[in-house]
Every structure is written in structure tokens, then in C-alpha cells.
Amino acid sequence: MTRAPTNSTRAALCLALVCAAFGSFTSATVARAAGAASLLARAEKNTNSVSTLIHTDFNVITTPTLIVQVHARGAEDEARNRERDVESVVVTARSGGKTKHTLRYSAEIIFMNGTVYYRTSYHAQKWISARGTRFVDPYTGGWQRARTMVTFPATAHFQPVGTSGGTSEFRASSFAAQGGTETASLWVSGGATPYVVREVVDYRASRGGGEEHQDTRLGPFNTRILILAPTKGGTT
């Protein structure tokens, strides 16, 4: 994801929103609001600068004619610019509210050294390689080699929701984003080095009736990850 305000801008937006919502403040209320904004900004900065990370994803893309469900897991080695993703996809075609056809497939993708290696269930799990940093999937949009970032447009105003089990939740109500509107929730871990450990985004297109639900869990971070190119025998 490469949507964008800086962390300092995000912190200011969060604090301004809380101030506008509650009017006059006691000094304790102001301190709590500033602390929440600072926590979110630090968590974003820490998450966006890790050397390695693991992520798991569940996405549902809905259009008037298709429902696409994606379960994925990925590992990113930012120090070596390598990435490995595995996805399982179910595509349901529909017409008049009735299911017409269901397609199931899986894919494994490795990005390294300016090359993408991939194998899919519809290519009999045979490894294929190509120069570049993109894997195209006609239903999900595919994968692009890039650092996973937790960033949102300036229209997203996050408010603290609460804390449970040491994890703090922040939520941004409907905001403009990429030809539609989104709502988003972020969960931030506690401790001396906070991270964004979960991100849930719901998107609705302004036209065409398209919707997407994304639920991404992030971590662990900065652990040892070994990503290798496939061998001649067809394994990694």
C-alpha cells in the first residue's frame, strides 16, 4: 500500500479531530488525545521501517457479477528486497443473485533479484520465471513487489476506540479514497516499540457497485526469513 500522509501529519490530524469532537478540554483529556495520536504515529513509523515481516490476509472483492475471496500469507525481507506470497482464491460468478460458476485456484510467488518466480494450480504447479516485479492475477489484481506500508490519505481521521489486552484500536469513519469511500480500523501493540498488528479496511466504489473488504494481520517483525529461488527440481 502506498497511500500517503507523513506520520507527523497523521498525528496532527488525529489530535485535531478529537479536539473538534469534544470542544473544550481538561488538560488530562488533551494529554490523552496527544498520547493516542503519538502512539499511532510511532506504530506506523515502526511498522513501515522493519527489516522483515510476516503478513496474513483475507480479502473479499464483490462486484455485481463476481465474488472473489482471497486467503494469503506473505513474507518480506526488506534488507534483501525479497518477498514470497502464497494465495488461495475462490471466484464465484453470479447472475440475477444466483451462482453460475465457481473457480478455485492457488498461486505461490517469489520476488528476488529483479525476477518473479511463480507457480499456480492451473499450470500444474510448474515454476515459471519472468523479469520484473509484478505477478498479474486477473481476479485479484495480483502482487507487486514493494514494502508493505500502513499509510492512508489525509482524508482518514483516526480516533482512539479503546484498549484491550494491551492492544489499542483506532478507527477512521467514512473517508474519500481512490474513487470511492473507505472505513478503516487499526490495532496497535503495546510495549516500548509499538507496531500496527492488524488493519481492516472496507471500500465501496462510488460507481459500479464494487466493494472490497481487507483484513490484514502483521507480524512477527524483524525475525530471520530465508527466501530462495526455486531449484531445478521444482521446490524452494
Specify the pLDDT at position 207. 87
Residue 19 domain flag: yes
| pLDDT, tens digit, 9 for 90 and up, residues 207-216 | 888 999 999 9
Residues 40 and 154 in one domain: yes
Residue 106 domain flag: yes
Of 119, 144, 169, the residue that ends a domain is 144
- pLDDT < 70 stretches in the chain: 1-34, 97, 232-236
Q: How far apart are CA 76 and CA 97, in angstroms?
A: 39
CA–CA distance from 228 to each of 50, 111, 133, 163, 235 (Å)? Answer: 20, 9, 15, 39, 10
Specify the pLDDT at position 230. 92
CA torsion angle for 175, 177, 183, 189 (degrees, to 10)? -110
Specify the DSSP class assigned to residue 178.
T
Residue 222 domain flag: no
Q: How many other β-carbons are positioned within 10 Å of the β-carbon of residue 166?
A: 10
Given a contact cutoff of 8 angstroms between Cβ atoms, the answer to whether 108 and 85 are in contact is yes
Tell me the residue range of the domain where 24 lies.
7-48+149-205
Residues 127 and 92 in one domain: yes
Give the total number of structural domains in the chain: 2
Whole-prediction pTM value?
A: 0.81
Residues 42 and 157 in one domain: yes
Residue 127: phi, psi to the nearest 5?
-70, 135
Residues 172 and 159 in one domain: yes
Residues 44 and 160 in one domain: yes
Specify the DSSP class assigned to residue 154.
T
Specify the pLDDT at position 34. 61
Residues 97 and 26 in one domain: no
